[in-house]
Each structure stands twice: as structure tokens, then as C-alpha cells.
Amino acid sequence: MTISGPPRQPAAPVKGSTRFGSFIAAIAAASSAVAAIALMIMVLALVADVAMSNLFKRPISGTFDLVESTLVVLVFMGFPATFLRGGHIAVDVIDHFVSSAAIARLKQLTAVVSLLFLLFFAWQMVSPALDAFKFGERKQELGLPLWVLWIPMILGIVLSAVALVAVVFAAVKPPEEK
């Protein structure tokens, strides 16, 4: 299968069309910055661990737990900006057969269904998070309490839901594709 046309450009920064939209765009940018810091920590930890293992035969204890924990932060804190920009994976199956108004309605419907899913997901996350806190579960090597990892997970899902509310009610206009 061949794909014609120029390569897709990265999504432009989202601009809020209302005060609420601007606030949500700023929150998404902040959560993206947290995700970027988590990625940087993950890469530095892995590079240091591999270097220590190969050069001195002394790997850094706790690297696996650190990378696993920062991956949680990276993924969930990256969600809000992805939802706000409409940057999730989409398969354009019927886009060539229906009007642009129908496509806009389908995108709106997709945002509403995604919002409902995220709210359900956040609701289902609370119980295991409370259990992790109640039972004092910890990471094996670092001793990091597991409930701490539930904070960015739940926060990322809730911020993603808020971003979708902004999209659904057109407080934020996703960037146009080129």
C-alpha cells in the first residue's frame, strides 16, 4: 500500500478561543512539560545504567523501577495535549465519501464517546489507587509507594477529560490538518 501526498506536519499548538480554552491549553502544555521531563529522566537513567553496566560491570540498582515509573508519568501526562490537539490515531475510512459537515459531526461524536470513556476510566482507577494506599504497596527496588504512581494516572485522565470537554463545547479549536 502506498501513501501519496506530502508527509503530515506535526500538529500546531492549540489556541484557546475562549478564556476557558486558553486555560485548558496552558494546562495541557504544562502536563506535556511534565511528560517531557519524565522522558528525559527515563533516557538519562537508561543511558547511565547501560554505561555503568558495560564500563564498570556495576548496573544502577532501581533503574527498572525508575524507568517504569517515569513511563507512567510520560504516558498519562501526555494524554491531555494529545486529546486537545486531536493527535490520537484516526483511520480515515469514510472521510472521502461523506460531507465535511458529517465529518465534523463524527469528530464531535468521537470526542463525546472518548469523554465518557475517560470518565468511566477515571472512576474505575480510584478503587485500585485507594487499595495501593491502604495496603502500602511499594516498588520492589526503589521502595516507592505505588499510590504515588496513581496520582499522574488519574490526573492525566481527568485533565484529558477536561480537554475533551473544551473540544466538545468548542472552547478550543483543534488545529487544521494541512
Residues 6+ apart with CB under 8 A from 64: 141
pLDDT tens-place string over residues 79-92: 999 999 888 888 88
How far is residue 14's CA from residue 82's CA, in Å, rounded to a whole number? 10
Domain ranges of the chain: 15-173
170: left (phi over 0), alpha (psi -120 to 50) or beta: left
How far is residue 108's CA from residue 62's CA, in Å, rounded to a whole number? 44
From the number of C-beta atoms within 10 Å of its C-beta (0-12, 13-18, 19+), residue 41 rates as middle
How far is residue 83's CA from residue 13's CA, in Å, rounded to a whole number? 12
- pLDDT over threshold 80, residue 165: yes
How far is residue 127's CA from residue 147's CA, in Å, rounded to a whole number? 11
- Of 44-58, 100-114, 132-146, which gets the smallest average pLDDT? 100-114
Per the prediction, the chain carries an average pLDDT of 88
- pLDDT over threshold 50, residue 5: no
pLDDT tens-place string over residues 20-72: 888 999 999 999 999 999 999 999 999 999 999 999 999 999 999 999 999 99
| Distance, CA of 160 to chain centre | 8
C-alpha cell recorded at residue 45: 537513567
- Of 3-7, 68-72, 123-127, 164-168, which gets the smallest average pLDDT? 3-7
Query: What is residue 89's three-state secondary structure?
Result: coil
The answer to whether 76 and 82 are in contact (CB under 8 A) is: no
How far is residue 170's CA from residue 164's CA, in Å, rounded to a whole number? 9
Query: What is residue 101's three-state secondary structure?
Result: helix
pLDDT-derived band at 4 (thresholds 50, 70, 90) equals: very low
- pLDDT over threshold 90, residue 157: yes
pLDDT tens-place string over residues 116-130: 999 999 999 999 999
